[in-house]
A and B are shown apart, each in its own frame.
Chain A
Amino acid sequence: MSTEHSTPNASPSTNRFDAIVVGAGPAGSSASFTLARKGFKVLMIDRGRRAGTKNMYGGRVYSEPLEAIFPSLRKDAPVHRWVKAERLSFVSDEGLTSIEYRGGESKSFTTYLPELVNWMRAKAEEAGALVATEVRVDRLVVEKEKVIGVQAGPDTVYADTVIDAEGVNRLLLEGAWQMNVPRQEDLAIGLKETIKLDAERVNQRFGLEDEGMAWILLGSVTRYIPGGAFVYTNRDSVSIGLVLFLSHAVKRTNGHISRLLEDFRLHPKLKHLWRDGELLEYSAKLVPEYWRGFMPRRLSGAGLLVVGDAAGVLLNNGMTIRGVDLAAYSGYLAAETFTKAHAEGDFTSEMLSAYGRRVEESFIGRELRKHNGLEYIRRNPHFFDQYPRLVNSGLGRIFNIGLESPTIWKALRGAQKDVGPDAWTAIKDMYKIGRTL
């Protein structure tokens, strides 16, 4: 009497879409929203329990690119605090030196990425996109070098174009294009903790009135490993974390890397800022660090567009990380390219290659190219070691006056002899920095 229960016949309406978006992060949600709004039949798939659960970042989003995609952002996005305080600190055993800027206008905000992503997902769904969560895509289905759909477990679903928004860990793309795994030199590892602290304390301890602070720290906070530490103030919590260049981190940490973050949280000069806070969560994730190395040679193929972290459109210049907004905007550009291709009924690699050009010609391409010179700073470990120490040692000599104060020149020279690189290197470095900035 056994009767096999048959799979619901994947009817044409449920196994064929105009576009399938893999990944519901900032890049995928923006692409889906833009496509759905134009009336396309869109399927967005994510392996998280709900959209947002798999997404993590440091804490600050630049709003303008997002506002171009989601016009209602300032009205209903889950913004925690608009950032009006920027702080940069050099931390070393010798001391801590900070530069702080406070302005009136704000073009970036802090939020929890899962909340923001879920908001974007809701916008996409309201616009008509079909969102399937809890499903991991196993493979991009390729036929005669054209991507024709995705496979998840026993199911295959088809589309004119697949938008790959799978993030930094781009296994699907590697499979479809037989790409190599990325090099350590092109990646960074990010670690983060969120510490709950009531809004009043956040305001008090960081000198805020409900606005936000973005704070980057360099030096001993990473045990002088190239990279940096960050602190972002949320509504009633702070996000603290580290971003370390992977190749250096691998060489210079023994034991679990999370210990470095523990040390940062317990740093004697900083820990009072989140004292009595409650540790809510710990997370870690890779960051595409050096876009020139990480970006695939092309951003599209027949039936395929690659967006967001998977495409390597992320800018980290030490002071600012722009991943979310660039990812979102690349998703938007992919949707625009798809629209054009659909009008022509042409999804060949020639047609879709317009997307790569759009990215290059947009602010994304310009921003990435502009910050090319930073490569020099990045590849010189003493920027994260000797210079923070130099600053603190020098200022220490200037401010810790005994009977007689040193001249500034003497203070700096003394500090340089003590902790800094040799004079010639310092001059070369300063010249390079000057040119880069």
Chain B
Amino acid sequence: MQILVGIKWVPNTSNVRFDPKTGALIREGVPSIVNPHDLDAVEFALDLRDRYGGEVNALSMAPPSAIEGLEQVLGMGVDSAILVSDRIYGGADTLATSYVLAHAVKRISNQRGKLDLVIFGQETIDSSTAHIAAQTASWLDLPYLYYVRSVEIKENGFIAVERWLEDEKTIYDLPLPAVLGVAMKSREPRPVRLIYKIRAKAEKPIEIVTNEILKLNPNCVGLKGSPTWVSKIDYTPEVKRKREVFMDPDAGKAAKWLMQKYADEDINLIGGAHR
């Protein structure tokens, strides 16, 4: 199988703080990481390769610093990586991003003569839109499924795809090539291996693709190609904690104390239990 996995290089939002005055993200000193849900997608793809053979390549649109993240997934065993990187791609919303990615996918598919699956993580931790996989599929006019948990190859170029919603599990037959969004936390990404990391560093299997190569219309990419604007970020004010601790080991007393506190604060528990 020829598989391509999308990788986003994101600020580690568990560390991100907002400027309370401007509402803007404080990026300074916040290290970037591979979007954790993309690692699920990498694991998903590597598992397919383990079972069916073939190749897994990573694709990312990002500034050059993302090489570090690509080295991480190469360390997990991905065969090679393509970094689509150009100043004019900066400031892109999901439309402009998927536009560039779709063209990169086409180019890779033409180069390799074959592409079976394009796999993305469910969403990203820095924006959580979950747009990219769907939009890329639309640009490419390929079938698309999300919340995917597993894939089996069937005969005659079809795959059986298992998708879970909250209360149902559906199995689809999909023709290849196709685009998939992997359900987040559905996989345990494998650790980086020394041998793969050495190979990533020694052979540098990362191709950098600029717009000189892709030749996309500058009006369709980056900030110019992005109709979405963040008009305002609302800041939920911090709730001052009262730092009260009930120290008695008697659970019954503790529960009573807690319920009384709720009552004092006029907090309505589900069903108004304390009333």
Contact = CB atoms under 8 A, between A and B. Distances in A.
Interface of A: 1-5, 7-8, 10, 13-15, 43, 45, 49-50, 130-135, 152-155, 157
State the 3 A-B residue pairs at the shortest beta-carbon distance, nearest first. Answer: A3-B53, A152-B194, A132-B197
B198 A43 contact: yes
What bracket does the count of chain B residues touching chain A fall in? 20 to 34
B89 to A, nearest CB: 25
Interface string B184-201: 000000011111111101
Interface in B179-234: 191-199, 201-202
Secondary structure of the A contact surface, majority rule:
loop
A120 B54 CA distance: 39
30 contacts: A1-B52, A2-B51, A2-B52, A5-B53, A7-B195, A8-B196, A10-B195, A14-B195, A14-B199, A14-B202, A15-B195, A15-B198, A45-B194, A49-B72, A50-B68, A130-B198, A130-B201, A131-B201, A132-B75, A132-B201, A133-B197, A134-B72, A134-B192, A135-B194, A135-B197, A153-B194, A155-B194, A155-B195, A157-B195, A157-B198
Contacts of B191: 134, 153
A134 B197 contact: yes
Contacts of A15: 195, 198
B50 interface: yes
Interface in B113-152: none
Main secondary structure of the interface of B (DSSP, over half): helix
Contacts of B195: 7-8, 10, 14-15, 155, 157
Given A135-B75, A153-B193, A155-B194, 20 more contacts: A1-B52, A1-B53, A3-B52, A4-B50, A5-B49, A14-B195, A14-B199, A43-B198, A45-B194, A49-B72, A130-B201, A132-B197, A132-B198, A133-B197, A152-B193, A153-B191, A155-B193, A155-B195, A157-B194, A157-B195
B153 interface: yes
Contacts of B192: 134-135
Nearest to A137: B194
A254 B195 CA distance: 45
Contacts of A45: 194
B75 A134 contact: yes
A254 to B, nearest CB: 15
Contacts of B194: 45, 132, 135, 152-153, 155, 157
A133 B49 CA distance: 24
User: B50, B194, B196 — which one has the most chain A CB atoms within 10 A of its CB?
Assistant: B194
A60 B174 CA distance: 61
A4 B50 CA distance: 6
A153 B49 CA distance: 20
Contacts of A13: 202
A135 B197 CA distance: 8
Contacts of A152: 193-194
Nearest to B76: A134
Interface in B55-91: 68, 72, 75
